[in-house]
Amino acid sequence: MPAVRQQKPAPLTTWSFAMSRARTRLASSAAAVTLAASGLSILAVPGAHASTLTDSIVQTATSQLGNNACGNGGYYASGTGQHSSCSGGHQAHAWCADFAGWVWAQNGVQNLGILNDLANSFQTYANKYQGGLSGTPHVGDAVFFHPNGFSGTDYDHVALVTAVNSNGTIDYIGGNQGSPSSVSRNAGMPSQPGSVVWTTSSGYRVNVQGYASPVGGTTTPPPVTDPVAPQVTDVAPAAVYNPDNGTSEIFAIGTDGVLSHAYSTNGGQWSDWYPIDSSFHFTGKPTAVYNPTNKTTEVFAIGTDGVLSHAYSVNGGQWSSWSTMDPGYHFTGSPSAVYNPSVNAVELFAVGTDGKLNHKYYAGGAWSAWNTMGNWTFVGSPTAVYEPDLNTAEVFAIGTDGVLSHAYSTNGAAWSDFFTLDPSYRFTGAPAVVYNPNNKTAEVFAVGAADGVMSHAYSTNGGQWSGWATLDAGYKFAGVPSAVYNSTTKAVELFGTGTDGVVNHKYYLGSSWSSWASLGSWKFAGTPVALNEPNTNAAEVFGIGQDGVISHAYTSNGSPFSSWYSLGTWKFNTH
């Protein structure tokens, strides 16, 4: 590689965030009580941009306005820990949670078994299914109220958002509001978490805590598809770095289905391509991982028969033949693998033909059996990452509804349930995930299913995940993003192939993101893949050209990225 060029002009300072997340699910112990709502204005519901499910939730809640606790014979969601709000023709207990649960249940919202008569059971719902209360309201959400700094539960309340107004306020409908208590609407109310909404007669100021979004629903429209570039499989090479011998290695599937590899040691010239056991034929994108415990580089790929196989090389030696990993399991998309140093294991993930995510691991000299991770269903491909400051491995995948979810394992413990990340955003393809040790932040990126815009969410120090934020809505992408931490500059490097086939790049350095910049004008198919190479203070990005030839560009010591250079003339899959 050529010598050093100009450094990226940004200071290396700490990345700070206003949001945090808790990985653990929080227990609920509060009791719901009557809302003292006197003095709150009652206005008509303005029009709102909402999905079929959210429209239906609003319609159901609106139809109950004016009812008391015995409306419809009493409110509660059956099959949950809730009990009817009506007993003997009278109010049985504080019933705001029962009303919100009943409305959601009427519209087929899923996973309601966790709810009970307590308002903060909706917080528990959010903790389990979206990684914590969201700070962003959406129509159909449950908004949870609690006085900041108050250890008791006497003033908790929950209601349903019926409009998000252009001035940043919300309208909501709730049960057990006003005097006498009834189903009523409050309009133009503060929406930001921490905002004071009312003050109790005892002088406690009740605050917005956040929002729980409904999961699923019988009137939910089918998953949206991407009009820019529908994803069937990830078209991309795989890349891995071996720190013990300073070798970067790239793998790709040829037009004949045979997987081949090329390599470069200590920043030297790239080798020619070499096939790995041409008797096996593959589809999609391979994945590769380096295991420093046994100094083994391993590559995984899904065969044209749907069976996942692997091959390996120890100490840079000859590659093994392919071995299948239980032919009784069949997969779609592409696998993902990550090395977990907290347990000296390789963690491997793949989505089955039934949409369920499966996992196995290599530790102590042997592979485990495949294990299905719950009953959630996914499309596309998973992406795994290891977070060393937390001793945590984490896997992300996009559901059949387009919502991105994640699960995690800390110190080798059993994998958690899946938690959704802000279900108001819908994605396609597969996410990209990177861990930034400089600010102890995990960050996930994905391309919108409806608009092709890339968005990101993040978690710092294992805290609560942020909401999604778009990364310049003026840029549209096809395929899947790729991200890597550049240890030389302490920057996160992000790449995506635009709808015009040009690879675009931006980076996070210091405390802000750069603008998107095109890396030349070469045209690529599918997804780029990025690699950090600390021994040469370099980062590289690889892509499959629309002609099937793989090319790469690089940066050394934070210099601008080089021009593209082709790695031979071999042809690889572009679809």
Classify residue 40 by burial, with Cβ atoms within 10 Å: 0-12, 13-18, 19+: middle
- Ranges of each domain in the chain: 52-212, 238-566
Q: How far is CA 301 from the centre of its chain?
A: 23
Distance linking the first and last C-alpha atoms of the chain: 30
Distance CA 35, CA 274 (A): 71
pLDDT computed for residue 34 by the predictor:
34
Distance CA 367, CA 390 (A): 24
Q: Report the C-alpha dihedral over residues 53, 54, 60, 63, rounded to 10 degrees.
A: -140
Predicted confidence (pLDDT) per residue in 215-226, tens digit: 876 433 333 333
Q: Does domain 52-212 correspond to CATH entry 3.90.1720?
A: yes
Closest residue by Cα to residue 526 from 433, 429, 454: 429
Residues of the chain with pLDDT under 50: 1-51, 218-233
Instruction: With residue 312 as reference, give the H or E element that holds it.
Output: strand 308-314
Residue 258 in 3-state DSSP? coil
Distance CA 351, CA 345 (A): 20
Architecture of domain 238-566: 6 Propeller (2.120)
User: Which residues does 328 contact at the CB level (< 8 Å), separation at least 6?
Assistant: none
Q: Report the C-alpha dihedral over residues 131, 132, 137, 138, rounded to 10 degrees.
A: 40
pLDDT computed for residue 333 by the predictor:
87
Closest residue by Cα to residue 72 from 60, 80, 59: 60
Instruction: Give φ, ψ of 71 to 5 degrees.
Output: -60, 140
Whether omega for the bond prior to residue 223 falls within 30 degrees of 0, making it cis, is no
Instruction: Give φ, ψ of 532 to 5 degrees.
Output: -95, 135
Kindly report the number of other CB atoms within 10 A of residue 255's CB atom: 12
pLDDT computed for residue 400 by the predictor:
87
User: Tokens 């008509």 appear where?
Assistant: 44
User: Tokens 């490097």 appear where?
Assistant: 493
Decide if 17 contacts 460 (C-beta within 8 A).
yes
The model scores a pTM over 0.85: no
One-letter amino acid of 438: N
